[in-house]
Amino acid sequence: MVAEKAGQKIAVEVKSFLGVSVLTEFHTALGQFLNYRSALRKQQPERMLYLAVSFDIYDDFFTSSFIQEVIAEHKLRLLIFDPNTEKIVLWKS
């Protein structure tokens, strides 16, 4: 999905993390995110990529110290949303 956030062009990759292993889902999401970001740099360098995850997944999994280190190392931008209200809860850059 492509959109704008405060005048900045963004792309959003939404992940549900519904598989058996959240860690496996994270590995897949991270790999896809890095590939998409590389492709965007070539095709639309002005667009910033965000990984969108539900608040529950963020709160239960993404806040662990190891995952936070991975996020920082790869400079992931996160969009955390509430699937019940369909509202964005938090932007993390």
Tally Cβ neighbours within 10 Å of residue 5: 15
State what percent of residues in the chain have pLDDT above 70. Answer: 94
Residue 1 has pLDDT above 70, yes or no: no
- Of 20, 33, 22, nearest to 74 by C-alpha is 33
Residue 69, Cβ density class (10 Å: 0-12 exposed, 13-18 middle, ≥19 buried): exposed
Of residues 92 and 8, the one with the higher pLDDT is: 92
Q: Which structural domains are found in the chain, ordered by start?
A: 2-92 (3.40.1350.10)
Quote the pLDDT of residue 90.
93
- C-alpha distance from residue 50 to each of 2, 20, 28, 33, 81 (Å): 10, 24, 15, 8, 12
Beta bridge partners of 51: 13, 78
